Amino acid sequence: MNSEPDSDPCERLFVALALPEPVREELASLAGPVPGVFWTRKDQLHVTLRFLGDVPAGQAERIDEKLAQIRVEPFLLPVEGLGVFPPKGPPRVLWAGVGTGHPRLYQLRQRLDDALLSAGLDLDVRSFQPHVTLARCSERASEFVSAWLRSHRGLSAPPFRVEAFDLCSSVLRPSGAEHSLKRRYRLDPPGP
C-alpha cells in the first residue's frame, strides 16, 4: 500500500451559466412549503452546461486552457417551463427550463464538449437538457409535486443575455452542495 499523500488532489467541477439577480429572484420566489421538497438556495441557481466530476489539479489546468479558447457570440436565453427528472416515476429533481433554448446555447455546449475532450476528459453521452435545478425531492414529495407544477405552470421569468460561462467547483456538505466560481470566460464572436 502506498502511504504517500496524493500528489494530484481532485476537485469536483462543473461548467455553468450564471443567472442574473432578477431571474434568480423570480425562480427563488417559487420556493414554498412543499413536503419532501428541498429548495436550491437562490445564490446557487444556475444552468449546468456540463458536470465534470472529480478532476485532478493537473487536468483542471488543461481544462482551463481549453475553455479559454472557446468563441461563441453572446445570446439571449429565456427561462420558461417547469418539469421533473426523471420524467416518469417518483420525481427526484424539480427544474425550470430554458424553453427551446437558443442555437448558440447548443453551439456553446458542442464547443465546450470539444474543448473538454481535447483536455482528456471522458464525457457521458446523455442528451443535453438545459435547465435550472430548483429543488431536490424525497420520495414523500411525489404526491405534492404534481399540484405544485399545476399551480406554477405559467412560469416565465425574464430572458437574460448570456455573455459568459463559468467553471465552478462544488463541495458536498450535509446542507447540500456549495458552489463557488473558479473562473469566468467571456463569450466573444469567433475571429475572422
CATH number at residue 22: 3.90.1140.10
What values do phi and psi take at 76, rounded to 5?
-95, 140
Pick the catalytic residue: 102, 131, 152, 179? 131
Q: By the 8 A CB rule, do 44 and 179 touch?
A: yes
Give the H or E element holding residue 34.
none
46 is catalytic: yes
Instruction: Kindly list the distances between the CA atom of residue 47 and the CA atoms of 18, 39, 40, in Å, as whole numbers in the listed order.
Output: 7, 15, 13
Count the domains in the chain. Answer: 1
Q: Residue 1 domain-assigned?
A: no
152 is catalytic: no
Q: Residue 5 domain-assigned?
A: no
Domain that holds residue 52: 10-186
Q: Residue 132 domain-assigned?
A: yes
Instruction: Kindly list the distances between the CA atom of residue 127 and the CA atoms of 85, 123, 130, 165, in Å, as whole numbers in the listed order.
Output: 13, 11, 10, 20
> What was the pLDDT predicted at 33?
94
Pick the catalytic residue: 46, 102, 152, 179? 46
Q: Which three cell numbers stand for residue 4?
A: 504517500
pLDDT tens, per residue, the chain with 192 residues: 444 445 679 999 999 999 999 999 999 999 999 999 999 999 999 999 999 999 999 999 999 999 999 999 999 999 999 999 999 999 999 999 998 889 999 999 999 999 999 999 999 878 899 999 999 999 999 889 999 999 998 887 889 999 999 999 999 888 778 999 999 999 987 666
Note the residue count of the chain: 192
For 113-122, the CB contacts below 8 A with 24+ separation are 113/50, 115/63, 115/66, 115/67, 115/69, 115/70, 116/50, 116/52, 116/63, 116/66, 118/66, 119/59, 119/62, 119/63, 119/65, 119/66, 120/59, 120/62, 121/52, 121/55, 121/59, 121/63
Q: Residue 191 domain-assigned?
A: no
Q: Residue 2 domain-assigned?
A: no
Using CA atoms, how far apart are residues 14 and 30, in angstroms rounded to an integer? 25
Using CA atoms, how far apart are residues 155 and 22, in angstroms rounded to an integer? 14
Q: Residue 99 domain-assigned?
A: yes
Q: Residue 27 domain-assigned?
A: yes
Q: Residue 3 domain-assigned?
A: no
Global pTM exceeds 0.85: yes
